[in-house]
């Protein structure tokens, strides 16, 4: 159960960005390694995995390939966890309302919405349910932002009315 979602948002987004960068590095290393396996033998290009090397099955992946796959899986797990976290936090709206001052709250909503947009573009076609969840969460974030702005507006107008009514003419 989410008690106060705001302290979780910033650290998660920072760790996620770091993980995404390391995933990109791991995938880049594997890509470079695969392109470097081409070499010239007898006047023509050959790929190392096409050679029949003893004790080297073609399906065996390298440690670098396994690392890249692990990084990709980790990013996917992080995405699913944060989507569920945001959805649970939005289900209990009062937790967002009293978590922080309004500018901070609106800033957090915007960061979450930006993250949702970024992840939406990274999701592959087979993960249609995730795309639908992201669309739904973006809509809910937008509604929560509007409610927050309306609440602040109504509080401000109540304060101005009470301060005006407390001023008595001389």
Domain membership flag for residue 169: no
β-strand partners of 39: 46
Domain membership flag for residue 93: yes
Taking the C-alpha atoms of residue 5 and residue 84, their distance in angstroms, rounded to an integer, is 12
Q: What is the pLDDT of residues 130-165, one digit of tens each?
A: 888 999 999 999 988 888 888 777 665 555 544 444
Q: What percent of the chain has pLDDT over 70?
A: 65
Q: Please name the residue that has the structure tokens 């592959």.
A: 124
Q: State the total domains in the chain.
A: 1
Q: Which phi-psi region, left, alpha or beta, contains residue 43 (left: φ > 0; alpha: ψ -120 to 50)? A: left
Q: Please name the residue that has the structure tokens 């023509």.
A: 44
The boundaries of the domain holding residue 90 are 6-34+46-161
pLDDT in the model for residue 130: 83
- Annotate 19-34 with DSSP letters as a single string: HHHHHHHHHHHHHHHH
Q: What is the pLDDT of residues 36-84, one digit of tens each?
A: 555 444 444 544 444 444 554 555 568 888 998 999 899 989 999 999 9
**Length of the chain (residues):** 170
Which of helix, strand or coil describes residue 45?
strand
Domain membership flag for residue 71: yes
């Amino acid at each position: 159960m989410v008690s106060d979602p705001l302290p979780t948002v910033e650290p998660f987004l920072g760790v996620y960005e770091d993980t995404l960068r390391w995933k990109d590095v791991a995938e880049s290393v594997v890509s470079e390694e695969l392109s470097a396996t081409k070499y010239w033998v007898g006047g023509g290009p050959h790929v190392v995995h096409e050679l029949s090397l003893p004790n080297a099955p073609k399906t065996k992946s390298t440690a670098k390939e396994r690392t890249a796959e692990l990084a990709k899986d980790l990013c996917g797990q992080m995405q699913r966890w944060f989507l569920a976290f945001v959805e649970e936090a939005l289900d209990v709206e009062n937790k967002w309302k009293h978590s922080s001052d309004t500018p901070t709250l609106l800033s957090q909503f915007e960061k979450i919405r930006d993250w949702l947009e970024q992840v939406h573009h990274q999701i592959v076609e087979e993960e249609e349910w995730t795309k639908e969840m992201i669309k739904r969460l973006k809509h809910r974030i937008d509604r929560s932002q509007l409610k927050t702005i309306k609440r602040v507006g109504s509080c401000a107008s109540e304060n101005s009315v009470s301060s005006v009514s407390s001023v008595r003419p001389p």
